[in-house]
Structure 1
Amino acid sequence: MTDSTTITSVSFWRRQYYLLLAAVVFFTRIPVTKPIPDWALQLNRSARFLPLVGLGLGVVNAVVFSLAFSIWPQVWLALVLTTVVSVLLTGAFHEDGFADFCDGFGGGWTKEQVLLIMKDSRLGTYGVIGLGLLMTTKLSALSLLSAEQIPAALILGHCLSRSISASFMHSMDYVRDEVDRKFSGHSEPMQLGELTLVWLTGLLCLLWVVGAQALWVLLPLWGLKKLFSAYLQKRIGGYTGDCLGAVQQLAEVLIYLILSALWL
């Protein structure tokens, strides 16, 4: 999905459009038929739109939940069906990262062991248990909310959690070797302007959903980011793609737990 368009031959807004399309390609399974130039197919550049992609996914999930609940008026079943659609839309992109993170950090003692295990495509005991507990906690927290509250929670959870995840690309170093760094699109850190867009998208969504209660959501998420950053720095000296998936899932679950406590 590339063409010969050069970055200098397109306008600012056109560049953003291509990067948004690239973000959809990288972070979802939604088909994009429009050709995307090579310069836009850089994960670290397109990640500026990760929260916006999350916002779109959250809206779709909210609609699916509302439709499912209108047919089967049982919150748990509607949430399970919504989760199925969510996984199909993303290809379990972040969930896979969380499972690999659990395997790597659960089974590896040294940095080299952790990185080697996370590159293994096979799923181990730590990954299975971790993912099972994560999904159970996520669905249980959401089920505490009313059917009217869940759509807004889904939108916020998908959007803001991706702001947390993408911000690691600015604050930490990617720890794979140079070949893997270039292949994965992490050859350069996220720039300050890109980070600003990442946070602006997430914070606007937060203010829209919870309003004056925003601080009660931000403080625990800030604590998660600080603790997770310190843990990654101590264990492997930076982040990998699997670590980004893991923190996105943890942040999403934490958002649902906070909302279930605030709105009950």
Structure 2
Amino acid sequence: MRSLLAAIMMFTRLPLWRIVNVDKRYFTDVIKYWPLVGFLTGTVTGGVLWLAAQIVPLEVACILAIIARILLTGALHEDGLADFFDGFGGGTSKEKILAIMKDSHIGCYGTIGLVLYFILYYSLLSSFDPAMIFPIVIAADCFSKLCAAVMVNTLPYVRKEEESKIKLVYSKVRTFIFVIVGLITLIPFFFLKDASFCFAMIPAILTAIGLRFFLKIKIGGYTGDCCGASVLIIEQVFYLSVLVIWCRHQFLF
């Protein structure tokens, strides 16, 4: 339970530290609970979108939902995405990539990457029927975090612990733990409008595999920025895949 609270504290801005004290050692064990935090962030994002869509145009509701998630997470993953694009866009060697990602200033690649990410995110959310969006958002949030967590679990951390932004390195998780967590994160899929949407998991998994090999080749492992970027990239691939399936379904029927 302490590790779950640590995961919520790490991946959201909820001030749980005001009511409970969690020792630092629990924060090294949060990676297995990362997908479960997706239930929280996904419910807030999808809930705001669905509720707002009842009183304002869908386009406005999507923007409000994105703002709600950013406020809840503190733009943690978006910060990682910007550093990811800056590092791999401007770096020509492992040392250069890591140095750029550690720099707190945002560069051209990071700026362009964030702009394109938010345009894509908004476009995908606004393309769905508001009546079906709630379980899709939760499924996307949980599953993208699961894929990223499993990916990270198979890679070494490439910096020294004291060089980490959060001053710790995630502990490795046993496979059967991920199997249990994975089964839990599949719950939102039972509420999807169409069972064929489950096929969107395949491109998401392939994306995670591709990112793993990319990180292994380029820097030999992962950093915190790579974790955040991987979640958002996998999530957008999942959304895009669901949209393709939905559009094809609409065309055929």
Unpaired segments ≥5 residues, structure 1: 1-16
Q: Shift of residue 205 of structure 1?
A: 2.9
* Contact kept in structure 2, 1:173 and 1:189, CA below 8 Å: no
Letter in 1 for 2:80: G
In the aligned structure 1, how far is the partner of 2:242 from the partner of 2:146? 17
* Contact kept in structure 2, 1:166 and 1:198, CA below 8 Å: no
How many residues align? The count is: 246
- Of 89, 96, 102, which residue of structure 1 is paired with 2:79? 96
Write out aligned runs for 1:15-164 (5 A): 17-32=1-16, 33-38=18-23, 40-42=25-27, 44-72=28-56, 74-164=57-147
* Contact kept in structure 2, 1:103 and 1:117, CA below 8 Å: yes
Q: Shift of residue 167 of structure 1?
A: 1.1
Give SS of 2:156's match.
coil
Unpaired segments ≥5 residues, structure 2: 248-253
Give SS of 1:148's match.
helix
Does residue 224 (structure 1) correspond to residue 222 (structure 2)? The answer is no
Q: Shift of residue 18 of structure 1?
A: 1.2
Q: Shift of residue 178 of structure 1?
A: 4.2
TM superposition score normalised by structure 2 = 0.90
- Of 226, 233, 236, which residue of structure 2 is paired with 1:250? 233
* Two-structure CA RMSD over aligned residues (Å): 1.9
* Residues 128 and 184 of structure 1, relative CA distance in 2, 3 Å threshold: same
Deviations along 1:183-231, whole A, 9 cap, x unmatched? 6321532332442344223333334436632551121112101111111
Letter in 1 for 2:4: L
* Residues 208 and 179 of structure 1, relative CA distance in 2, 3 Å threshold: same
- Higher mean alpha-carbon deviation, 18-27 vs 62-71, is at 62-71
Letter in 2 for 1:150: I
* Residues 198 and 181 of structure 1, relative CA distance in 2, 3 Å threshold: farther
Letter in 1 for 2:43: V
Letter in 1 for 2:123: S
Identity %: 35
Q: Shift of residue 135 of structure 1?
A: 1.1
1:259 is aligned to 242
